[in-house]
Amino acid sequence: MTTGERMKQRRKELGFSAEKVAERLGVSPATIYRYERGDIEKVPGDSLGELAKILQTTPAYLMGWEEKPAAPAPRPIPPGFEPMPEMANLPVVGKIACGTPILAQQNIETYYQSPKEWRASMFLVCQGDSMEPFIKDGDMVAIREQQDAETDEIVAVMELDGCDGFATLKKLKKRPDRVELWPLNPEYEPIIYLKEEMNKLQIIGLAVGVIRRIHE
């Protein structure tokens, strides 16, 4: 492939017209077409460097010394902004069929993206206002699947006895003789499980993030 053919191919890949490239290079469109056809075999060095920038590649690629165009340099991030995190696709779990694994196919309603750094396993959709003001009704809470947690962590738990199919989100308090599940909303009372009742509880995982969905 000639230099001109590489120029044309790269221009087409980027969706640029010859007129656009010519304007940015400061030449006529006819000159660009002559480069691409090979009528002008040698592109001046200063023009070649500028042309490579416009086509988001390197002079070495245009000259045929490299096989692939270089990836464009990342654009600078404006002050006060952060780059988009790497994302993972997670299942959104709805009502849980009793006796099934939490991520059984029949429990999954859809999928939604979560930042990979959360290391989450799934989303649970919060129902009710017991975790207001921090977690609101309809919020999707990212859960990292694990079977234990520390005091004062927010966990997703289910009752094994009389399972109603729904996990609950609460702040965990471990006492020597009981487990307490505390709502964040002070209008609600904690749920207390005494020693003989503690085996009824199954910790599904730890809450590691919240995605708020805007409802019209």
Q: Nearest CA to 167 among 141, 133, 198, 185?
A: 141
DSSP of 189-207, one letter per residue?
PPEEEEGGGGGGEEEEEEE
Instruction: Write down the number of H helices and E strands in the chain.
Output: 5, 9
Tell me the C-alpha distance between 76 and 159, whole Å.
50
Buried/exposed code over 156-185 (b: 16+ C-beta within 10 A; e: otherwise): bbbbeeeeeeebbbbbbeeeeeebebbbbe
Residue 203 CB neighbours (<10 A): 18
Coil vs helix vs strand at 214: coil
Q: What tokens does 11 get?
A: 């221009």
Specify whether the CB–CB gap between 101 and 92 falls below 8 A. Answer: no
Catalytic annotation present for 130: yes
Instruction: Yes or no: say if 180 and 191 are a contact pair by the CB < 8 Å rule.
Output: yes
170 is known as an active-site residue: yes
Single out the catalytic residue among 170, 171, 173, 195. 170
Block residue for tokens 């109603």: 164
Catalytic residue among 8, 121, 130, 171: 130
Among all residues, which ones are annotated catalytic?
Answer: 130, 170
